[in-house]
Amino acid sequence: MSATPETGLGVMIRTWRNRLPPSAAGLPVARGRRAAGLRREELADLAGVSVDYIVRLEQGRATTPSASVVASLARALQLSTAERDHLHRLAQLAPPLDGTISDHLPPGVQRVLARLGDVAVAVFAADWQLVWWNRVWAALLGDPAASPPRRRNFARDRFPLDAGPAHLALWPVTEADRDTTDAAVASDLRRATGRFPQDSRLAALIRDLNAGNRRFAELWATGEVASHREDHKTIDHPSVGPVTVDCDVLTDGDSELKIVIMSAVPGSEDETKLQLTAITGPPSTTDH
């Protein structure tokens, strides 16, 4: 797809960045701020790329970002589905196809998520790939940004390869009934294979887990189809001690995004601890 300098990749990224107020992205607005939209460094932080790369994209010195970078930019810029597809084409990439999993967060969902600042929230794609999280999630469970994207999959974290090295869980939690949660995740993945039969990432995940984790293979063989909705979990936080939370899973329409919300009972000691985690900041991986 060819584009003129006025409609090319860099111009569109800058246009979309300038139209998005920081408040819509859940960022504080400093008094006396001149920029109405996002600054380059803010977009870089939201998308998980360097400021220099944003500059090169906007100046036309970088023209072929990877699919993962494009997906991250689309989320950070809160693009509509049509705009996301246009961004893919400008980057010389095919837009996501029907029947494949989308990592895209619709603008309306992002606005709602930005208002959930006092609870731990994360969003997973249909294959349990983590695509977004807020600061309270990072403070409670550890910042996922410290781990490579491949590790940010809840199913891979839940069912590590039996023959692999010693596994350090990315989300170390204690549950009242671990077997039930294991079964729910496996059956939810089977449901996803019916919804997204052409998705290669999901197919590779199922293949790896079936071949490499005996527990998952046993659960998969049952043929159960269901979805994961709610649970109770305890997080042993290194600074504030154990925090017991309710874990609710909401889904967003046809894309099957999973919005995971961890909250504590109002007025409880656990709610106080949850609030304290936002002050102490994310635990390091060595704390786990």
Q: Are residues 231 and 191 in the same domain?
A: yes
CA-nearest of 127, 79, 133, 124 to 106 is 79
Distance, C-alpha 278 to centroid of its chain: 19
d(CA 104, CA 246): 26
Residues 58 and 168 in one domain: no
Task: Note whether 38 and 70 are same-domain residues.
Answer: yes
The C-alpha atoms of residue 282 and residue 280 are separated, in whole angstroms, by 7
Same domain as 134, residue 265: yes
How confident is the model over 68-111, as pLDDT tens digits? Answer: 899 889 989 999 888 999 999 999 998 877 678 888 888 888 88
Residue 17 lies in a domain: yes
Question: Please, are residues 141 and 280 in contact by the beta-carbon 8 Å criterion?
Answer: no
Token pair, residue 172, equals 């170390």
**What pLDDT does 173 receive?**
86
Q: Is residue 128 domain-shared with residue 77, that is, in the same domain?
A: no
| Pair 181, 230 in one domain | yes
| Cα–Cα distance, 79 to 73 (Å, whole number) | 9
209-265 pLDDT, tens digit per residue, is 999 999 999 999 998 887 767 688 999 998 899 999 999 998 876 678 899 999 999
Distance CA 214, CA 39 (A): 48
Residues 84 and 116 in one domain: no
Distance CA 250, CA 144 (A): 20
Q: What is the CATH number of the domain that holds 13?
A: 1.10.260.40
pLDDT tens digits, one per residue of 14-67: 999 999 988 888 787 777 787 789 999 999 998 989 999 999 999 999 999 998
135 with 267, same domain: the answer is yes
What is the value of pTM for the model shown?
Answer: 0.74
Q: How far apart are CA 101 and CA 52, in angstroms?
A: 30
Looking at the 3D structure of the chain, how many domains does it have?
2
pLDDT over 90 (residue 149): no
Give domain status of residue 130, yes or no: yes
4 in any annotated domain: no
Which structural domain, as residue segments, surrounds residue 184? 107-280
| C-alpha to C-alpha distances, 74 to 105, 163, 227, 266, nearest whole angstrom | 8, 37, 27, 35
User: Where residue 264 sits, what CATH number does that domain have?
Assistant: 3.30.450.180
In a domain, 85, yes or no: yes
Same domain? For 120 and 247 the reply is yes
Q: Are residues 66 and 113 in the same domain?
A: no
Neighbouring residues of 99: CB distance < 8 A, sequence distance ≥ 6 = 196, 197, 198, 199
The 230-237 sheet, strands edge to edge: 130-133, 120-124, 257-263, 241-252, 230-237, 174-175
